[in-house]
Amino acid sequence: MTFYSFIYKKYSRLVSSKNILKINYIFHKIFGDHKLGNLGLDFSDKPKRQFIVQDIINRKNFKSYLEIGCFDNELFNIVNCDKKVGVDPATGGNIRKTSDAYFRDCNDKFDCVFIDGLHTYSQVIKDINNSLNVLNQGGIILLHDCLPNNYFDQAVPRCQFNWNGDVWKAIVECRTKRDLDTYTCYADFGIGVIFKRENQNYLDLGVKNFSKINFKEYFNNYKKFMNLVEYDDLIKII
């Protein structure tokens, strides 16, 4: 393959992906709850995930770290921990697998797991459940992109480059589990926090299929659903 054909192939893929996003955007514009507007969440002066992850590792003296979804290693390269594993099927980390494939063969245990892979409820809830199985006693699970600001931020299928996905639905489901203590830190587009311990703020929704919760319910109840906390308050809980 020549250099020019390589560039053309990359460009064609980029144009194709943009076209898919445009098509999805039109679909959501017609059928979605976008008229609800913005929640007005502002993360500009909030701590970044790089600080939060490392600060928790330091405070808890954690020795092992697993990251699901590493992309460009924006977080993974910065984390300082004795044992560090990064899983991504395409780029970043140090293991080239899907999270499903990795967990299927995993015999290791971890103190801290950061989930930032495919941002769909169906995949995230699997990543959470698999992470719980490899979590050490007293460990913590963190998730990125849990607080969408508007309908398009979380619409599935994806319709824009900056995208939370419907990760928030997995947080809501965990809030209804008696044996999981779950919070959302108001920082860096929403950092989900899950402890494998008694639920201190049980959410009783009576929902069986969390994939069916709609954005309007989140929009009107996000503080209650997500158990929102500032980072200064979170470290007191940890």
Residue 151 belongs to a domain with what CATH number?
A: 3.40.50.150
Question: CB–CB of 68/89 below 8 Å?
Answer: no
Q: Are residues 89 and 5 in the same domain?
A: no
Burial class (CB in 10 A: 0-12, 13-18, 19+), 228: middle
Q: Are residues 160 and 136 in the same domain?
A: yes
Q: Are residues 56 and 122 in the same domain?
A: yes
**Host H or E run for residue 207:** none
- Residues β-bridged to residue 64: 83
Least confident of 19-23, 38-42, 95-99, 132-136: 19-23
For range 33-54, the mean pLDDT = 95
Q: Are residues 48 and 67 in the same domain?
A: yes
Q: Are residues 189 and 96 in the same domain?
A: yes
Tens of pLDDT, residues 68-103: 999 999 999 999 999 999 999 999 999 999 999 999
> In whole angstroms, what separates CA 233 from the centre of its chain?
20
Q: Please give the share of the chain, as a percent, with pLDDT higher than 90.
A: 83
Q: Are residues 24 and 51 in the same domain?
A: no
Q: Are residues 69 and 14 in the same domain?
A: no
DSSP letters, 212-234, are G--HHHHHHHHHHHHTEE-HHHH
Q: Are residues 69 and 21 in the same domain?
A: no
Q: Is residue 37 part of a domain?
A: no
pLDDT at 5: 52
Q: Is residue 233 part of a domain?
A: yes
Q: Which domain holds residue 5?
A: 1-32
Q: Are residues 6 and 63 in the same domain?
A: no
Q: Is residue 143 part of a domain?
A: yes
The total of structural domains in the chain comes to: 2
Q: Are residues 121 and 48 in the same domain?
A: yes
Q: Which residues contact 95 (CB under 8 A, 6 or more apart)?
A: 85, 86, 87, 88, 102
Question: CB–CB of 213/169 below 8 Å?
Answer: yes
Tens of pLDDT, residues 130-188: 999 999 999 999 999 999 999 999 999 998 989 999 999 999 999 999 999 999 999 99
Q: pTM for this one?
A: 0.91
Q: Is residue 160 part of a domain?
A: yes
Q: Is residue 158 part of a domain?
A: yes
pLDDT at 85: 98
Question: At residue 234, does pLDDT exceed 80?
Answer: yes
